[in-house]
Amino acid sequence: MGDMPPILRYALALLWLGLAVFLEAYRPPFLLLAGLTLLLGRPRSCPRA
């Protein structure tokens, strides 16, 4: 998932957020997926110490 283009990563995160809004009963898992998509998809060019 780390080599995903940024525009695709943001589109996927928006998809998860949209599903979280429309499917209120399943909101926490979709919000978690959106967060993981953004976190795991970020570039590794700036590693944390």
3-state secondary structure the chain: CCCCCHHHHHHHHHHHHHHHHHCHHHHHHHHHHHHHHHHHCCCCCCCCC
Q: Is residue 49 part of a domain?
A: no
Task: Give domain status of residue 48, yes or no.
Answer: no
| pLDDT for residue 49 | 54
pLDDT tens digits along 1-48: 556 677 888 888 888 888 888 888 888 888 888 888 888 877 666 666
Dist CA 26 CA 14 (whole Å): 15
What pLDDT sits at residue 36? 86
Q: Is residue 1 part of a domain?
A: no
Full domain range(s) for residue 20: 6-40
Kindly state the tokens that stand for 49.
Answer: 């110490």
- 24 part of a folded domain: yes
pTM of the model: 0.65
